[in-house]
Structure 1
Amino acid sequence: MIRFVAGPEGDAVPDLAARLPGRGFWLSASRDMVNTASAKNLFSKAARRKLSAPPDLADRIEALLARRCGELLGLARRAGQAIVGFEKVKSELKARRAAASLSGVVLLAASDGAADGRAKIRALVGETGDGSQAGSGPALIEALTAEELGAAFGRDHAVHVLLLPGRLAEAVRSEAARLSGFRPARGTN
């Protein structure tokens, strides 16, 4: 869900951190939902006053969510809670599987990465657990591009990233779930 507040100039302002003052209203984290709310003037109805929404509001929210994910990944890198590169990710997953400590691990695969690279990481997740039950295995996120992942790590691109269990991993998982509502699903073949 995404919180919106009424801006001082009568516009709907997305409040991704849910900390801006004022009476807020919530909307599902979906491009279709934001576009529908804009088209039907539902922001004014929810705020009980005249509000305008720019035509590119969904694009702005997508960019803000991607930036927020990148910032969280940068924090994870600086905290030493992120591992980058397929071989390093693979060895960490195998070590954690041997120790039975996969709960809370978050895997990120670039959405624009090669299909075989994404298939390899999915196979690793399949070996370690499908993540369908809470705590059963690592979450696999494919909402960010290789360029967006790489920017968080000071590289041109990064395709495979593993986040160690913790609050940062949970925050990235949550923000990436919201971001995936604004990005078209990529091919999984």
Structure 2
Amino acid sequence: MTERKCILTGDRADPDLLVRLAVGPGGEVLPDIRAKAPGRGAWIGVTRGALEQAMARGKLKGALSRAFKTGDLAIPDTLPELIEAGLRKALLDRLGLEARASMLVTGSEKIGVACRKGQVKLLLHAADAAADGSRKLDQALRVGQEAEGSDLAGFVLPVDRDALSVAMGRDNVVHIAVTDSRAALRLRGVIGRLESYLGCVTGAPVHGEQDSAGAPGGQ
């Protein structure tokens, strides 16, 4: 897809970095996280805080009226929450898909072995993971990436272990190791979009990216 323009800022970006809004049959504006709803859509690329401000000031309604060429729109007060929930679901769905495709490793012992062997492309920790367990795996990751003494570490997801366990259909998922480069890039994409919306972008580093820079990130 070509770049899309955020209706609130006027900035253009890849659709994968934006959130599409669509209008339902009753005129209600709802998030279209997968950008597959039929009809005209409008795109936003702002943080949740900025969206809430735009709603409070009437800026969002005006921008949507121009985009959809009608003022007969119903914008739910819960739109910011709906978008966040949709982005979280997209992340958990992607984790579930990668787990079923055997692209992920769980269990601290197995992850530690894979890290030390340099097989881990992306290391993820649940938001409520114990600091000691994460620290040990981060050290194993640095050993495998020949980066001892650096601040290289796994990425802390904005979701807890219960959500991860449900998404992956496994018990007590606290840490996740991604061993496939393409899977790591796909996950980094959905993580980045959620982070951007939450306004806490830190970037989930994909290890060995140079080996897969030209690889397609098929869905």
Same fold, TM exceeding 0.5? yes
Query: Could you say if the C-alpha distance between residues 26 and 93 of structure 1 is closer, same or farther in structure 2, counting changes exceeding 3 Å?
Result: same
After superposition, what is the alpha-carbon deviation per residue over 1:138-173, rounded to whole angstroms, capped at 9, x for unaligned?
873522211111112323431110122244332222
Query: Which residue of structure 2 lines up, in the alignment, with residue 170 of structure 1?
Result: 185
CA distance in 2, matches of 1:14, 1:109: 28
Alignment-derived partner of residue 110 in structure 1: 126
Q: TM-score, normalised by structure 1?
A: 0.76
1:184/1:41 CA distance change after superposition, 3 Å: closer
Residue 60 of structure 2 is aligned to residue 44 of structure 1: no
Do the aligned partners of residues 14 and 86 (structure 1) sit closer, same or farther apart at CA in structure 2, a change above 3 Å counting? Answer: same
Quote how far apart the aligned CAs of 1:92 are: 0.8
CA shift, 1:23, in A, is 2.2
Whether the 8 Å CA contact 2:118–2:141 is kept in 1: the answer is no
Structure (1 or 2) with the larger CA radius of gyration: 2
Which structure has the higher relative contact order (CA within 8 Å, separation 6+)? Answer: 1
Q: Which runs of 5+ in 1 are unaligned?
A: 131-136
Aligned position for 2:204: none
Report how many residues are paired: 173
Kindly indicate whether the alpha-carbon contact (under 8 Å) linking 2:139 and 2:153 is maintained by their aligned counterparts in 1.
no
Unmatched 5+ stretches in structure 2: 1-17, 201-219
Q: 1:148, 1:157 within 8 Å by CA — same for their partners in 2?
A: no
TM-score, scaled relative to structure 2 = 0.67
Measured in 1, the distance between the counterparts of 2:102 and 2:153 equals 18
1:26 paired to 2:43:
yes
